[in-house]
Amino acid sequence: MTVITYRDALNHALREEMQRDDRVFLMGEEVGEYDGAYKVSRGLLKEFGPKRVVDTPIAELGFAGIGVGASLVGLRPVIEMMTWNFALLAIDEIVNAAAKLRYMSGGQLGCPVVFRGPSGAALQLGAQHSQAFESWYAHVPGLKVICPGTPADAKGLLKSAIRDDDPIVFMEGEMLYNTKGEVPEEEVLVPIGKAEVKREGSDVTLICHGKMVGVALKAAEELAGEQIAAEVVDLRTIRPLDVEAILASVTKTNRCVVVEEGWPFAGVGAQVVDTIQREAFDSLDAPILRVTNADVPMPYNRALERAAKPDPGKVVAAARKVLYQ
């Protein structure tokens, strides 16, 4: 194992896949000469040249469409969005083209394209640049939605995404890029659609993904000081959802808190709760609680922004509540 940042894990995944398969290319704003807005593509232009690391104008709809078209003729494009907030301008290509091509062509056309970039809030970027979009894209049949929360998962899942034959929405965390973690030195492909138990426990299940993995693990550590053993389940992939892993944990602990960065209404957690109540209702000893962003546009004010986000204290409070403490 080697300890590297989330940013470098993504960079290694891109480099290794571009070396392995000359059909893979990267396209997006500032991915080349500037080495990427978040330096994820650092060094790739020098190694692979401007035909495989392609700088674009500020035209998300245009270069998303180029990615879809390139995938249809046998290439494997990786389309970087500077932020998923900007991908709203490209949503027609992602939702109306990439997601539907296989179905509408009766299986004759595949669309192996990866759309990737940071989703959710960072620090004081305001309401228009702080939105978490996982539930939006997971709502669409034909898309796979991936949200890695650790460097190892970022690398392993991006490699799997690039090799996948379906369109992938790959959502990173801007606040995760500098975080460090152990990553296997040998090649490891993390399977799409498989959750992982990040911490074993027996008293309550904390279900999370993306940036909320760190929040849930901190909450679990705090709960351990109160002799409460929280199990942390990292979904890693939102669609397809690992129902088996969710049910296995909840039937073990009998209590559940779902932690997500998005808004509460029709969020990822709502789908998780629906799954549990249908498949494991008799195993529950308390109602399931959700910890989410506040149901408001993200405030710019620092104190209000902090109040609007999930944090370990809110998760701890929810866990105590489902334990009737």
Residues 149 and 176: beta-carbon distance below 8 Å:
yes
Give the whole-angstrom CA distance, residue 267 versus residue 254. Answer: 22
| Active site (annotated) includes residue 129 | yes
Give the CB-side neighbour count of residue 225, counting CA atoms within 13 A.
6
Instruction: Identify the active-site residue in 80, 129, 231, 305.
Output: 129
Instruction: Identify the active-site residue in 17, 60, 134, 260.
Output: 60
Q: Which helix (H) or strand (E) element contains residue 117?
A: strand 114-118
Among the listed residues 15, 35, 33, the one whose alpha carbon sits nearest the alpha carbon of residue 25 = 15
Give the total residue count for the chain.
325
Name residues whose C-beta falls within 8 Å of residue 181's C-beta, 6 or more positions apart in sequence: 3, 4, 6, 9, 150, 151, 152
Among the listed residues 167, 200, 207, the one whose alpha carbon sits nearest the alpha carbon of residue 322 = 207
Q: Which two tokens stand for residue 57?
A: 């104008």
- The burial of 294, by beta-carbon neighbours within 10 Å (0-12 exposed, 13-18 middle, 19 or more buried), is given as middle
Give the whole-angstrom CA distance, residue 202 versus residue 231. Answer: 6
| Active site (annotated) includes residue 33 | no
Other CB atoms within a 10 A radius of the CB of residue 239 amount to 22
Give the whole-angstrom CA distance, residue 245 versus residue 234. Answer: 10
Q: Which residues are catalytic?
A: 60, 129
